Amino acid sequence: MYIRVQTPLKPTYLVYFILLLACCISCSDTNEKKPAPNFIIIFTDDQGYGDLGCFGHPTIKTPNLDQVAAEGQKWTQFYVAAPVCTPSRAALMTGRYPARNGMTSAKRVVLFPNSAGGLPQSEITIAEVLKQENYATGIIGKWHLGHLPSYLPTRQGFDYFYGVPYSNDMKALGNMPSYWDNSHDPYYQARTDQFDVPLLENLEVIERPVDQTTITRRYTEKAVAFIKTNKDRPFFLYLAHSMPHIPLFAHKDFEKSSKQGLYGDVIQEIDWSVGQVLRTLYQLGLENNTIVVFSSDNGPWLAYKSHGGSAGPLRGGKGTTFEGGQRVPTIFWGPGYIKPGVVDELGSTLDLIHTFASFSNTKIPGERKMDGYDLSPVLQGVTAESPRSTFFYWSRAELHAVRSGRWKLYLKQHHPINYGKESISLEKPELYDLQADISERYDLSAQHPGIADSLRRLMEHHKASFADSLPDHLAARIE
Ligand code: MG
């Protein structure tokens, strides 16, 4: 693990007195302004709600993340704004549902290597918000918001980009064994040259195809270097791992390290990577001035059998608006800011831009409809109640469901077999009590028609807010 917890010294009365005196002196200057914190988002790809030790996995060992969770805040009801990569990442970056900026569409579920578009320049990203306060900004890992030069991260507020522009399975070369057909074998290993994915540094392709067997390790080394380079100024690091999205690759040091096959090895390498980042913060004395967020971009890709993760007790996985598709294992860490505990309130990656703006005392410029909330009062322990009481579940520019408090109402769902391809309008809305029925097994719409009606009205009101922000030319960007 990244640091040992020290056993406190047995204090004497003299030590108590000195501590009390020190406290009085520090409290006398209540106007002292804290310096702007550093922010690190560690974002995994297709990692399920149940894939970490601290979220209940029995055999994948994640001691670093378990320690991060124990020292920070573990959020058990935290959501991404879409159940697939591109729209989920667009929402994290902008604090807006992707239907507002064209990063979701009925035509294509995510951006592909032959897509012409990307996140519009008119959008304001977290990096651009923090740039106002002269943050150093870097993304290491997967972007997936446009691979053409005018859409790359360096055009969206990032000083530095090292990573892949889209998913690690894209541009699979022909005449190779099918990953899908082989994914029943937990140790099936694809060849890294089977996928023609480029590795970029800023605007330049530096390796193609990228050697994915060392990708998690290289991202980690670059992340540590970025922190060291920027240790004397505020920084924002977005470390967006390409794993555990298939095809799975782990460094040879992690081969057969878990009892869960290659998927477990990959997660355990990511856990090691988290430890390296935290260790670096401690080595540089940045632990009290940095906030680390760990989360995943969507639920597990269950179709890939043992190469997809686990949503734990949640229904469904990637590509669905069931809880398993959009509820993700999320931890906030930062001894200088975050009050340790477990938070069962609602939160979302949509909220990060507001939360970071609050911590850094910056404003989100311009006038635009936003979909997030400032979670900083909950993170700091000022209040136990999240400002977010509702969450809307969108897929492919279609509003499927809403959650309000403990209740979730569906008007649409994914096709029961053809997940991710089609939505179906339900003949009868379905209502679930997520507090008593975390797995969404018992439809209670007949027992609580009034609650179903009020949630339906919430959905109508929410949809109306898109009337002037969803022009067709934007909605067609993912093509
Ligand atoms: Mg994903």
Do residues 395 and 83 lie in contact, with contact meaning Cβ atoms separated by under 8 Å? yes
* Helix runs in 380-440, H state only: none
The domains of the chain, with CATH numbers, are 38-384 (3.40.720.10), 391-474 (3.30.1120.10)
Q: How far is the CA of 422 from the centre of ligand 1 (A)?
A: 18
pLDDT tens digit string along 272-317?
A: 999 999 999 999 999 999 999 999 999 999 999 999 999 999 999 9
Which of 129, 372, 364, 339 lies closest to 234 in space, CA to CA? 129
pLDDT in the model for residue 6: 46
Q: How far is the CA of 450 from the centre of ligand 1 (A)?
A: 36
What is the residue whose two structure tokens read 């074998």? 185
- Report the pLDDT averaged over residues 101-124: 91
Cβ neighbours of residue 229 closer than 8 Å, sequence gap 6 or more:
136
Cis status, amide bond into 209, omega within 30 of 0: yes
pLDDT in the model for residue 477: 58
pLDDT in the model for residue 366: 85
pLDDT in the model for residue 26: 45
Residue 205 is classified by DSSP as E
- In this predicted structure, the answer to whether residue 417 has a pLDDT above a threshold of 80 is no
Q: How far is the CA of 35 from the centre of ligand 1 (A)?
A: 34
Q: Share the mean pLDDT of the chain.
A: 91
CA distance 434 to 404: 10
- In this predicted structure, the answer to whether residue 175 has a pLDDT above a threshold of 80 is no
Which is it for strands 290-296 and 199-201: parallel, antiparallel or unpaired?
unpaired
Catalytic-role residue among 144, 245, 307, 354: 144
pLDDT tens digit string along 25-69?
A: 444 444 455 789 999 999 999 999 999 999 999 999 999 999 999
Respond yes or no: is residue 144 known to be catalytic.
yes
Q: How far is the CA of 62 from the centre of ligand 1 (A)?
A: 20
Respond yes or no: is residue 241 known to be catalytic.
no
Cis status, amide bond into 153, omega within 30 of 0: no
Confidence of residue 466 (pLDDT cuts 50, 70, 90): confident
Q: How far is the CA of 367 from the centre of ligand 1 (A)?
A: 30
Q: Burial code of 114-141, b = ≥16 C-beta within 10 A, e = fewer?
A: ebebbbbeebbbbbbbbbeeebbbbbbb
Cα torsion at 317, 319, 322, 326 (round to 10°)? 80
Do residues 125 and 143 lie in contact, with contact meaning Cβ atoms separated by under 8 Å? no
Q: How far is the CA of 428 from the centre of ligand 1 (A)?
A: 30
Q: pTM score, two decimals?
A: 0.93
CA distance 435 to 403: 11
Q: How far is the CA of 286 from the centre of ligand 1 (A)?
A: 30
Q: What share of the chain in percent tops pLDDT 70?
A: 90
- In this predicted structure, the answer to whether residue 144 has a pLDDT above a threshold of 60 is yes
Catalytic-role residue among 85, 307, 400, 414: 85
What is the residue whose two structure tokens read 């969770």? 69
- In this predicted structure, the answer to whether residue 470 has a pLDDT above a threshold of 70 is no
Q: How far is the CA of 246 from the centre of ligand 1 (A)?
A: 10
Q: How far is the CA of 467 from the centre of ligand 1 (A)?
A: 28
CA distance 163 to 178: 25
Do residues 211 and 251 lie in contact, with contact meaning Cβ atoms separated by under 8 Å? no
Q: How far is the CA of 271 from the centre of ligand 1 (A)?
A: 18
CA distance 294 to 277: 12
Q: Which residues make beta-bridge pairs with 342?
A: 74
Rg (CA), the chain: 22
Confidence of residue 478 (pLDDT cuts 50, 70, 90): low
CB atoms within 10 A of CB 19: 11
- Report the pLDDT averaged over residues 191-209: 96
Q: State which residues have CB under 5 angstroms from ligand 1, the bound ion.
A: 45-46, 85, 297-298
CA distance 450 to 438: 21
Do residues 51 and 309 lie in contact, with contact meaning Cβ atoms separated by under 8 Å? yes
Which of 387, 394, 455, 403 lies closest to 83 in space, CA to CA? 394
